[in-house]
Amino acid sequence: MRIGVVTFPGSLDDGDAARAARIAGADVVRLWHGDPDLHGVDAVVLPGGFSYGDALRCGAIARFAPVMESLVDAARGGLPVLGICNGFQILCEAHLLPGALTRNQHLHFRNRDQFLRVESTDTAWTNGFTDGQEILIPVKNGEGCYVADQRTLDQLEAEGRVVARYIRGNPNGSQRDIAAITNEAGNVVGIMPHPEHAVETLTGPSLDGLGFFTSVLRALAGASAGAHAGGHQ
Amino acid sequence: MTTQPDTSAAPKQTGFAATDVLVNEFDGGPDTVQRAAGTPEELQPHTELGLKDDEYERIRQILGRRPTASELAMYSIMWSEHCSYKSSKVHLRQFGDKAPRGTRMLAGIGENAGVVQISDDLAVTFKVESHNHPSFVEPYQGAATGVGGIVRDILAMGARPIAVMDPLRFGAADHPDTARVLPGVVAGIGGYGNCLGLPNIGGEIVFDPTYQGNPLVNALSIGVLPVERLQHKEAAGVGNIVVLLGARTGRDGIGGVSVLASATFDEGAEQRRPSVQVGDPFMEKLLIESCLELYDAGLVAGIQDLGGAGLTCALTETAAAAGTGMRVWLERVPLREASMSPTEILASESQERMLLIVTPDNLERVLSVAEKWGVWATAIGEVTPSGEDGSPGRLVITWNDHVVVDVPPGSLADDGPVYARPIREPADLILLQADKAETLPRPSTGDELRETVLRMISSPNLCDKTWVTEQYDRYVLGNTVLAQPEDSGVLRIDENTGLGVALSVDGNGRFARLDPYEGARLALAEAYRNVAVTGAEPVAVTDCLNFGSPEDPAVMWQFAEAVRGLADGCQQLGTPVTGGNVSFYNQTGAAAIHPTPVVGVLGVFDNVARRIPMGFPAAGGDGDLIFLLGETSCELSGSEWAWVTHGHLGGRPPKVDLEAERRLAMLMARASEAGHVSAAHDLSDGGLSQALVESCLRRNVGAKVALPDDGQSAFVHLFSESAGRALVAVPRGHDKAFAALASEYGVPCAPLGVTSAEPVLEVRDQFSLPLDEARAAHEATLPALFGGVAELANRHGDPEHAADPTAPAGPDRGDAVLTTAASGAAMETAAPIEAEGIPAASAAEVKEPSPGGPIDPTA
C-alpha cells in the first residue's frame, strides 16, 4: 500500500509522518505541493508544520496549492486523507472538514503528552482502535482550539463524527474537547495531536499513534479485497 | 596585527539611534572613494560608531585616505568587540594552545561552528552564542533571531540543523521587568524554533538579580552532516559568482553588533530598538532546505551566513579567507525599502540570508533550486584575482556606478585591533571569599529539613520549568530520545545503528563570581557530568562567555581567569573547545553581571537505546537500589541553599576534581553498556535533596533512603553542592556488579535506599514527604509568577482562585523566596480548575514522561 505524504513550504513533520507510515508497513510516496499529480497513492497524510509560514491564517494558503486541487477531488471520491495539526487546519480551510482551528485559549504554544479517548472507530484512520479506547499521544500547537457553530457541533456529535476527544485536561480550549473529527464518509480525518510522534518506544510517550496508520492499511486492504471480489466501495 | 594597551575611558554614551548617523551621507549622492580622496578633512562620526580615535587613524593609514561613509561603517562593525574579539583574542588563544591532541575535531575555532566526527561517515557541528542585548531591548525578536542566527551558523558548515537548546538568565523572578522579558523571550524562542521544525531539547532558566538590567539569552544549535559535505567559507576561484540567497535586505538590525553588542546600556536603551533584527522563521526554513539541496547537488563552492554585521562581514570574511578580491554591485541586492543607502545595505542585519560562492557553470542550477523553494537568489558580484605581486585582492563595491568601497578585505576581517587590556582582581573579592556560607544558621530537625526541602524545590531556580519548556516543540524530527528536564538532551542521529549524541549546557554565575577560574571549571564539570550520567562519552565543548565591560580591569580579570580555567579543564578532560562566543558589555551602568561562562558539552552514543534517564523507574517488586556516587563535603558557599534561605553569596565555590569527574563518566558509560543502571541524575544546584525529589517526581515513584552515617550532618548531605556526584538507581541483581565496577574506577559508591511504589520520599529518621505535596510545591511557582494558573482561573471568572502574583518574594528583597504557604495557596487553585476540564498537571495524570524512558508497549 502506498501512502503519500505532502510537503508544503513550511511543512515540518513530513519526515515524521513518512517514518510512521513506513513503520506501520506502508510504502511512502513523498508528494510536492506544486505538483498536482498524486502519483497513484492509496491514501494521503497532510503533515504538521507551518505551511507558508501560517501567513493570513493557518492553512489558508496551502488550500490553494496545486496538489490540493487533485486532493480535494480524490478525497471527495473516497481517498483516505489524514490531516495532522497544520494538515487538520488545511482540511478545514479546504472545506473537507467543518469548523476551524483558532489560537489556543491560553495564547501559548503548548507541547505535552495528551490523553485522548477514541470515540469513532468507523473511519479509515481509526478502525483499529476500540470504541472508547484511551490513548496517549503528544499535542503541540499554538492554534489548535477547535471551534464551530453549535449546529455543526451538534451534527458532528449526532453523526458520530467526533473521532477523538481530549481527556484529563483540554490543552487548547477546543469546544467540547474535540481533538479529531471526520467527514460524513469517514475517509477524511483531521486530528490536532500528533500520532506520528508516538510510534517508537525510543522517542515517543507510547506506541498509540501507530494505530492511525495501521488502520488505514487495514481499510485499504479490505477495500482492495472487496474490489478484487467484484464489490464496490 | 597590532597589540596596544587600551587606556581610554568608557565609550561615550550618546543614546543616538544608529540609523541617524548611518544615513547621514552627503547631499546629492553617496560618499564615494573619489570624493573621500578629495575631502580629507571632512569630519566623520567615528566615535558615535564606536571607533576610538586611534582606531580611526589606523583606518586612514590602511586606506591612505579618509574612509567613505560606507567604509567607515564597515570598519566600525568589523572592528567592534562583537566581530573582532579585540579584547578576548589574546586569552582565547589558550583554547587552541591547550587543545588536547588526537580528538575527532574536523573544524574548530574560527569557523562558523566546530565540527566533530562521530562515525566513519557522519559528523556533528554545534555551537552556543549569545543574543543578550537584543533580547533585553526587544525580548521576542531578540530571542527569536538569536535562534535564527545560531541555526545559520550550523547550516553554513554543511549540516542539517537538528535541535536547539537555550540557556537563559533573568533578573529576580518576581521583578516586574522579568515579567516583561521572560514571557517575550520564551515566546520568541518557541515562535522561531517551533516554526523552523527544530526540537528544543534542553537549556537552563536561572533567576538572579545580577541579570536584572541585562538578561542572558544564549542559544545553542546542533546539526549533522556527512563528513564529505563539510562546507567552507573561502571565496575561492577567480570569476566565481557571489550569490545572495534568502530574504530581501531591509533597515532592521543596523548597528546591531557595534551599537547593541559592543557597548553597555544606558538610559537610551529603548531608542535602540531599530538595531534589533526581525525574524521570519518561515524564510529560514526555506533557506535551510534550499541550502541542503544545493550542498547535496554539489553546487556550492563557498558559503557564509549573514548574521551580525550582515553583508559587510560575509563579503570581507569570504574574500579574506581565500585571499582573493571581490567586485560587488550593491544595487543588485534585493531590498525591502528602495530608499536604502549603500551604507545601510552593507550594515543591515536583516535575517535569513546566506552568501554563496558558485561557479558560473552552476549559476543557473543554483537559481532554479532557489526558485523551487521560493527563495530570492541574486548574483551580486564576482570573485576577483589577488594582486599581481601576490598581495591579497581588494573588495570593490559600487552602487549605481559610484565606487563606495575599495578596501583590502583582510584589513576588516583579520587585522582588527587587538588589546591586551589591563586586568586587576576585583577589590572586594578577598572580603567576599572570607564571608563563607558554611557558618550560616542551618535547619537541623527533621521538620526543619522537610520545610527547607519544600522551600528549595519551589524556589525559582529549582522549581519545575514546564511553564517554559512546554512552549517548545521537543518532538519534531522524531529523534528526540531525552529532552528537558532530563540532565541532557539526547538525539538519535542514525535510525539504523542507533548512533546518537547527548548535549548539556550549564553555567553558574555565582560560583564564577566567587572564583572565576573554579567557576568555569565547575560549569565544565557540570555539563560534562550531565552528559556522562546518560551513559554517553563526552567528546567536545562549546562555550558562551558572558561578561561585563572589558574596559573594567576587574571584569577583564574575571574573563582571563575563566578562560584559563576552562582551557585547563578541557585539556585535563580531553575535550577540546570547538568554538563559541564571547559576549562583553553585559552591564547596565557601572554594575557588571556575575561573570557567567556557559559551557556546552557534546557526548556520543554508539547506540542511544542504552541511554539512562533521570527518573526512578516505576517500581516493580522490591524496587531498585539507590546509590550515591562521589564524595560529599560541607560545601555551601555559593549554593542555592545559601541564596534561597539567607540571600547570601560569599565564600569559595565547591572544589572541582576533574580526574574524579572523568572516572565517574567512564563508570557511567560502562554501567550503561552493561545495563546496570535504570536511572541516573547528576547532583548540582540544590544538592541531593533536589536530585532525589526530581528523580521521584519524574515518574511519580517514591524512595526510602537513609543518609550515610559518616559524620556529616543530614543537612549537609541534603544541601551541599559538592561536585562530582550522581544519584543512580540499580535494578536488583545488578548491585554487586555495579558496586564492583564503581570500585574498579575508584568512584565512591554509598547505598542510600530503595525506590518504592508508594509515592512518598522518606528520609529515615528525618522526614517523610508525599510526592503530591512535593509536586504541588515544585510546579506552582512559574505559573503563579508568569500567569498560567492565574490566567486560567481568571478566565473562569473566579477571582478567589486567581493566584496572587505578588505572593512570592525573591531573594533580592531578602525575603523568603516562595514560602510553602504561598506555593500551597497557588496550588489550591489548580485543583478546582482541573475539575472543570482545564489542564493542570497532577500526579494522577502523569503516566510517563517523554520523550524517553522505557515505555509500556502494550499501551
pLDDT per residue as tens digits for the range B428-460: 999 999 999 999 999 999 999 999 999 999 999
On chain B, the residues whose CB falls within 8 A of the CB of A177 are 837
Contacting residues for B521 by C-beta, under 8 A, at least 6 apart: B565, B566, B568, B569, B656, B658
> What's the sign of the alpha-carbon dihedral B296, B300, B302, B306?
negative
Query: Which residues of A are known catalytic residues?
Result: 85, 194, 196
Q: Mutating which of A28, A45, A111 best tests the B interface, going by the most B Cβ atoms within 10 A?
A: A111
E strand segments, B589-695: 591-592, 596-605, 625-629, 679-682
pLDDT digits (tens, 9 = 90+) for A94-141: 999 999 999 999 999 999 999 999 999 999 999 999 999 999 999 999
Q: Which residues pair with A110 in a beta bridge?
A: A141
Q: For the segment B542-596, what is each residue's pLDDT rounded down to a tens digit?
A: 999 999 999 999 999 999 999 999 999 999 999 999 999 999 999 988 889 999 9
The residue of chain B nearest to residue A166, with distances taken between CA atoms, is B837
B192 labelled ligand-binding: no
pLDDT per position as a tens digit, B723-757: 999 999 999 999 999 999 999 999 999 999 999 99
Between chains, do A206 and B478 touch, taking CB under 8 Å as contact?
A: no
Spot the catalytic one: B46, B91, B131, B801: B131
Of the candidates B123, B129, B76, B81, the residue with the CA atom closest to the CA atom of residue B103 = B123
Under an 8 A CB cutoff, do A109 and B194 touch?
A: yes
Place of cell 550515610: B708
Under the phi-then-psi rule, with left for phi > 0, alpha for psi from -120 to 50, and beta for the rest, what region is A149?
Answer: beta
Q: What is the pLDDT of residue B333?
A: 97
| ipTM, 2 dp | 0.95
User: In this predicted structure, what is the pLDDT of residue B277?
Assistant: 77
- Confirm or deny that B305 is annotated as ligand binding: yes
**How many alpha carbons fall within 13 Å on the CB side of residue B714?**
18
Give the pLDDT band of residue B101 (cuts 50, 70, 90).
Answer: confident
* Burial class of residue B120 in the structure, from the number of CB atoms within 10 Å of its CB (0-12 exposed, 13-18 middle, 19+ buried): exposed
Chain A nearest CA to B798, separation (Å):
16
B126-145 average pLDDT score: 93
Task: Report percent pLDDT > 90 for chain B.
Answer: 78
CA atoms within 13 A on the CB side of B699: 23
Q: Which residue of A has its CA nearest to B200?
A: A111
Looking at the complex, report in whole angstroms how far the Cα of residue B674 sits from the nearest Cα belonging to chain A: 18
Interface test with B, best of A202, A208, A210 (most B CBs within 10 A): A202
Alpha carbon of B178: minimum distance to chain A alpha carbons (Å): 18
CB contact under 8 A, A113 and B850: yes
Question: Which of the residues B82, B91, B402, B778 is marked catalytic?
Answer: B82
- Identity of the residue in B477, B609, B838 whose CB atom sits nearest the CB atom of A16: B477
Contacts of A200 in chain B (CB under 8 A): 478
Residues linked to residue B505 through DSSP beta bridges, in sequence order = B600
How does residue B818 score in pLDDT terms, banded at 50, 70 and 90? Answer: very low
| φ, ψ for residue B797, nearest 5 deg | 60, 35
| Mean pLDDT, rounded, for B129-142 | 92
Least CB-CB distance to A9: which of B374, B475, B840?
B374
Is residue A226 very low, low, confident or very high in pLDDT (cuts 50, 70, 90)?
low
pLDDT range class, residue B259, cuts 50, 70, 90: low
Q: How far is B128 from chain A (nearest CA, A)?
A: 24
Residue B255 or residue B401, greater confidence:
B401
* Helices then strands, each counted (H, E), chain B: 28, 28
Tell me what the mean pLDDT of segment B11-32 comes to.
Answer: 50
Q: Cβ contacts (< 8 Å) between A170 and chain B: which residues?
A: 837-839
Q: Do B194 and A54 touch (CB under 8 A)?
A: no
Question: Residue B312: which H helix or E strand, with range?
Answer: helix B310-322
pLDDT at B500: 98
d(CA B136, CA B139): 5
| Contact: B282, A49; criterion CB under 8 Å | no
Q: Residue B215 CB: number of other CB atoms within 10 A?
A: 26
Higher pLDDT among residues B342 and B829, named by residue: B342
The confidence score (pLDDT) of residue B260 equals 55
Task: Kindly determine whether residue A142 and residue B849, on different chains, have CB atoms separated by under 8 Å.
Answer: no
- Determine whether the interchain pair A204/B859 forms a contact, defined as Cβ–Cβ distance below 8 Å: no
Indicate whether A54 pLDDT > 50.
yes
Distance from CA of B851 to the nearest CA of A (A): 5
Share of chain B above pLDDT 70, in %: 86
Is the pLDDT confidence value at B827 over 90?
no
Domains and CATH numbers, chain B: 1-88+231-416 (3.90.650.10), 779-843 (no CATH)
Judge: A207–B855 Cβ closer than 8 Å, yes or no. yes
- What does the DSSP assignment read for A142-177? SS-EEE--HHHHHHHHHTT-EEEEEESS-SS--GGG
pLDDT at B814 over 70: no
Q: Quick one: average pLDDT of B303-321?
A: 93
In the predicted model, what is the mean pLDDT of chain B? 88
Q: Check whether B146 is labelled as a binding-site residue.
A: no
Nearest chain B residue to A53, by CA: B282
B563, B569, B574, B575: CA torsion to nearest 10? -50
CB pair distance less than 8 Å for B851 and A15: no
Taking CB atoms and an 8 Å cutoff, what residues of chain A touch B492? 202-203
Q: Are B163 and B221 within 8 A, CB to CB? A: yes
Instruction: Mutation target for B interface from A203, A207, A213: give the one with most B CBs within 10 A.
Output: A203
User: Does the pLDDT of residue A229 top 80, yes or no?
Assistant: no
Q: What are phi and psi of B552, to 5 degrees?
A: -95, 115
Whether B265 has a pLDDT exceeding 60, the answer reads no
Give all domains of chain A, ordered by start, each with its CATH number: 2-228 (3.40.50.880)
Chain mean pLDDT for chain A? 95
